[in-house]
Amino acid sequence: MTSRRFRLIRHHDVSGVSGTGPVAEGVQFTDGAVALRWYGDYPTTTVWDGIESVIAIHGHGGATEVEWIDPEQGPDPELKLPPPEALRPRPWPDLHSAPEPQDPDPLHSDRDPGTYGGAPPAGWSSYRVFR
């Protein structure tokens, strides 16, 4: 099997966001994983463990269906992939292990404001995000 393309066709817009007709395109990879790209004003790409997950979340009980663009070719006899259930679960890597900066933002520090004075510069807007 090689990668296989598809589209999501929405017959009824349950969410009121994406409209009807073709709403996304995707590809199912050889190992069954799926990448899905949404059309529209806010295009987004998501990755799923399989087409079953896409249908379970976005199918809305038949309101949206998968339209395969490429025919199913069957398994590739030369490709030796372990079944998904044979892969042991692994945790995500620690994505926040970087040390804190040595000189934190002076406007949000607990230390003595010193020469900073504690007030933001005059040109700063009032919607500054505080920690």
pLDDT tens digits for range 4-19? 999 999 999 888 888 8
Query: Does residue 100 register a pLDDT over 50?
Result: yes
As to burial, measured by CB atoms within 10 angstroms (0-12 exposed, 13-18 middle, 19+ buried), residue 28 is: buried
| Whole-number Å distance between alpha carbons of 21 and 95 | 38
The full set of domain ranges for the chain reads 4-68
| Prediction pTM value | 0.59
